[in-house]
Amino acid sequence: MLGVLRRKVACQGAHAWGLEQGLRVIASRALSSSAKETMTVRDALNSALDEEMSADPKVFVMGEEVGEYQGAYKITKGLLNKYGPERVLDTPITEAGFAGIGVGAAYYGLKPVIEFMTFNFSMQAIDHIINSAAKSNYMSSGQISVPIVFRGPNGAAAGVGAQHSQCYAAWFGACPGLKVLTPYSSEDARGLLKAAIRDPDPVVFLENELLYGESFPVSAEVLDSSFCLPIGKAKIEREGKDVTITAFSKMVGYALQAADILAKEGFSAEVINLRSIRPLDRAAINASVRKTNRLVTVEEGFPQHGVGAEICASVLEDSFEYLDAAVERISGADVPMPYAANLERMAVPQVEDIVRAAKRTCYRSTALAATA
Amino acid sequence: MGSWLARSRNIQYLLKRNICFFDKTHSLLHANSSYKTLPPYETPHGFCASVLSFRRSESTMAGKQAQADDDDGNQSIEFPGGRVGFTTEMDFISEVTDKRVPCYRLLDDDGFLISGTTFEQPDRETAARMYESMLSLQIMDTIFYEAQRQGRLSFYLTSTGEEAINIATAAALSPDDIILPQYREPGILLWRGFSMEEFASQCFGTKDGRGKGRQMPVHYGSNSHNFFTVSSPIATQLPQAAGVAYSLKMDGKEACAVAFTGDGGTSEGDFHAGMNFAAVMEAPVLFICRNNGWAISTPISQQFRSDGVVVKGQAYGIRSIRVDGNDALAVYSAIRAAREMVVREQKPVLVEALTYRVGHHSTSDDSTKYRSVSEIEQWRSTGNPMTRFRNWVLANGWWTDEHETELRGTIRKQVLKAIQVAEKTHKPPLEDLFSDVYDKTPSNLQEQEKSLRETINKYKQDFPADVPL
């Protein structure tokens, strides 16, 4: 499917759908201030891009299929029509090329938003992201800042195999010089993308393909064009007192479902939506663990050197005496993602895995094999 | 001819005649490119070579004439990119041409002006300054290299043999042009006013200068001189230059981005991406390739099989020229012309400067291990860029040997002093370990710095005494 998407398809007569949607939302807001609006993550991202491009002429979008095709996942729909080909650039197929060009443009002072069709392809550009974008401010002793945003879907979709399913949060999260964000809801998507574009440092913005179509309620504040979320602050999605569950991106939804199931069985789980992998909100995580005394970390990516490993280390260092049980890490299987549906299901965390892990932290008295 | 008659009987063929005037006249319109003269061909029936065979003529197999004869000239297809004519001759474009693309030069091997040439010559002041800068660069390289050998510096790399490229290019550009170097172009900084003290500060990683001790030696960078900080990975600056150029274009500035690479750098994927993109985006980048024959120990023959780098320009739709990199006058002239094209037409141009890396790749290399000493010596003497340019300025009465001797002495003293001072200057303070990772130092780094200070104060004996806190 992605092979089809990568072929450039001329799309005539596209209209600024994102803008219309925004207008409709604002209009209905005026009529009834108490009605809860909902917005898909896709629209949230689109409207955030639209508003930031409108506010700052230095912001421009670049990537494969972002213009005429309206975006491989329609995140950039309508932008070409509204801002023209100078600010929405369709590129030849070269991640190294357009990442490099984006970095160069950022060096000079523009604010590129570079889209990778999936972060799996960002590996072809990783030298530019790490050696150039992340390190330039430091190496040039502050002379060259790189206000660039690299965004795109990250992690597993459905049935796309090993080279389209890896989660890169841990890899990018390891690099000083980068900021790494992982939105979950539409509010996250809008607020964090705006923050990322406005930030003078290079930001890796990890979205999730399966979340694009999901709708979330958004308040009037979120819909305002000046809305912005702070980078480096996690969100307590659900308060609880028995066990802390940390998650990011799609896994937040799973963690919330697990919390519902646990609640029915008498466990009160606190779900933390990390929102920011680097900087990691260690304060929030530790504060929560000091309250609940138990921790389950959840991520889609590979277990070794994952985000969960860093969270474990942080909690051990800062809140050791508060732990009443060993930390549980739920992660993807330590294999390249298989394609067959049954195998794929076995390779990614499921809600039941989270539920069982949470229960284990609550009952646990003997060492168990580290399987979910 | 018989086949032509048979074809002409075909009514359809006559109706679909496509008269395009891509004949010899058309080829002359591209006179400012470095195409060699097209082989003469007949056009007996007034039809012309198609665009395809016009481009092919450069690499046509020996002896093939009558381009007009081997394709219909009538039937063609409007293909994305332009009309393509058809041919019934199965002709492969040769992988090599009989004649290599010629190299533009103005001074002969001994530095005498080749007669009959017209060129934009630098005035007396500029020429004298050029030679003086080449001298400074050479002396600076020699002394810094020696300092590394003596263990006073960790690393250094010289531009020996490439002084003309360094200085003549710098002189031909405008100070507003933004340089994205590889790493063998410190002469540009020198020309733009970077002092010996600043070079030394960077190499020794002192608290002075702007480097804050962040980078290894020769990785200079200076915003105020429009010289982007040197980055070690090869060729990454090429697509970045296209980005910078695009930004300049959006700003409507009368300046261009100038990206350097060596012969080895053209093998990187980024070379392809940078060139292709600059052409597609019509970004004002001047790509300068210093083809100096060696990429550490890899000779040209193992780097690519094309006729050098200049022929690659056309593959991307980029105008290109090959110039004698050891002829400062030719480099000056060519770069001035190329820069003018880039800025005026807002599209990329490629300049391949042929030269030789007389020195080792760096202080970590001993090139006598993979090339003969006689080859090195031969290039050091014959066609040496310094000698050739000196003979020219001498001949013009713009330079004297006495002045040179005096200048050599002065520069030498200056460089030695700069090194002595830099050696004794304090290294950067502790806070420079943690600053500039991000725009604003984040709380975790502030904590780490505080914690480190406390540890140093507590265990002073475990830390070097010369770390300013």
- pLDDT tens, position by position, B235-257: 999 999 999 999 999 999 999 99
For residue A196 the two structure tokens come to 């990322």
- pLDDT of B47 reads 35
- Residue (of A173, A180, A155, A308) closest to A244 by Cα position: A308
Q: At what angle do helices B385-395 and B163-172 cross, to 10 degrees?
A: 50
Within 10 A of A10 (CB to CB), how many other CB atoms are there? 6
Q: Which residues of B touch A112 (CB under 8 A)?
A: 243
Mutate to test the interface with B, among A101, A103, A204, A285 (most CBs of B within 10 A): A101
> For residues B387-411, b (16+ Cβ closer than 10 Å) or e, as one string?
bbbbbbbeeeebbeeeebeebeeeb
Query: What torsion do the CA atoms of B235, B239, B243, B246 make, to the nearest 10 degrees?
Result: 120
Separation between Cα atoms, residue B354 and residue B262, nearest integer Å? 10
Alpha-helix runs per DSSP H in chain A: 2-6, 17-31, 41-55, 79-83, 95-108, 126-127, 135-139, 169-173, 186-198, 220-223, 250-264, 282-292, 307-319, 341-347, 351-363
What are the pLDDT digits (tens) for A187-219?
999 999 999 999 999 999 999 999 999 999 999
Distance from CA of B218 to the nearest CA of A (A): 13
Dist. CA B72–CA B88, nearest whole Å: 8
Q: Given an 8 Å threshold on Cβ–Cβ distance, is B239 in contact with A132? A: no
Identify which of A103, A109, A141 has the shortest CB distance to residue B214.
Answer: A141
Name the burial class of residue A314, with classes exposed (0-12), middle (13-18) and buried (19+) by CB atoms within 10 angstroms of its CB.
middle
> Across chain A, what does the average pLDDT equal?
89
Contacts of B334 (CB under 8 A, 6+ apart): B104, B321, B323, B351
Contact B436 A89 (CB under 8 A): no
Identify the band that residue A353 occupies on the pLDDT scale cut at 50, 70 and 90.
Answer: very high
Q: Which residue is it, tokens 């219309």? A: A20
Ramachandran sector of residue A98 (left: φ over 0; alpha: ψ -120 to 50; beta: rest): alpha
Asked whether A230 and A195 are in contact (CB, 8 A), the reply is: yes
Residue of A nearest to B431 (CA): A141
Contacts of A136 in chain B (CB under 8 A): 229, 231
* Contact of B126 with B133, CB cutoff 8 Å: no
**Cβ contacts of A127 on chain B, cutoff 8 Å:** 233, 236
- Angle at which helix B385-395 crosses helix B124-149, to 10 degrees, equals 150
Taking residue A238's Cβ as centre, other Cβ atoms within 10 Å add up to 18
Strands A215-218 and A243-247: unpaired
What are the DSSP calls for B394-463, one per residue?
HHTTS--HHHHHHHHHHHHHHHHHHHHHHHHSPPPPTHHHHTTSSSS--HHHHHHHHHHHHHHHHTGGGS
Handedness of CA A195, B441, A110, B274 (dihedral sign): negative
Per-residue pLDDT of chain B (469 residues; tens, 9 = 90+): 444 444 444 444 434 444 333 334 333 333 343 333 334 434 344 333 333 333 344 444 444 433 443 455 567 888 888 899 998 999 999 998 889 999 999 999 999 999 888 888 899 999 999 999 999 999 999 999 999 999 999 999 999 999 999 999 999 999 999 999 999 999 999 999 999 999 999 999 998 878 888 888 999 999 999 999 998 899 999 999 999 999 999 999 999 999 999 999 999 999 999 999 999 999 999 999 999 999 999 999 999 999 999 999 999 999 999 999 999 999 999 999 999 999 999 999 999 999 999 999 999 999 999 999 999 999 999 889 999 999 999 999 999 999 999 999 999 999 999 999 999 998 888 888 889 999 999 888 999 999 989 988 898 888 887 777 7
Pairwise CB contact (< 8 Å): A101 & B438: no
Give residue A364's pLDDT: 54
A92 closest CB neighbour out of B240, B280, B442? B280
Name, in order, each residue with C-beta under 8 angstroms of B436's C-beta and a sequence gap of 6 or more: A137, A138, A140, A141, A142, B212, B214
List the one residue out of A301, A110, A23 whose CA is nearest residue B251: A110
pLDDT classification of A367: cutoffs 50, 70, 90:
very low
Nearest chain A Cα distance for residue B143, angstroms: 25
The pTM of the full predicted model, rounded to 2 decimals, is: 0.78
Nearest to B236 among A94, A105, A127 (CB): A127
What pLDDT score does B41 carry? 39
pLDDT, residue A82, reads: 96
Grade residue A35 by pLDDT with cuts at 50, 70 and 90: low
Answer whether A94 touches B (CB < 8 Å).
yes
Answer yes or no: do A100 and B238 touch at CB < 8 A: yes
Query: Residue B383: what pLDDT?
Result: 84
Owner of token pair 């705006």: A194
CB distance B247–A144 less than 8 Å?
no
Catalytic residue flag (residue B232): yes
Pairing outcome for strands B82-87 and A295-298: unpaired
CB-defined contacts A:B, below 8 A: 147
Our CA-based measurement puts residue B270 at a distance from the nearest CA of chain A, in whole angstroms, of 6
Compare CB distances from B273 to A100, A105, A108 and report the shortest one's residue. Answer: A100
Structure tokens at B87: 């041919």
Annotation marks residue A317 as catalytic: no
Give residue B72's pLDDT: 52
Residue of A nearest to B214 (CA): A139
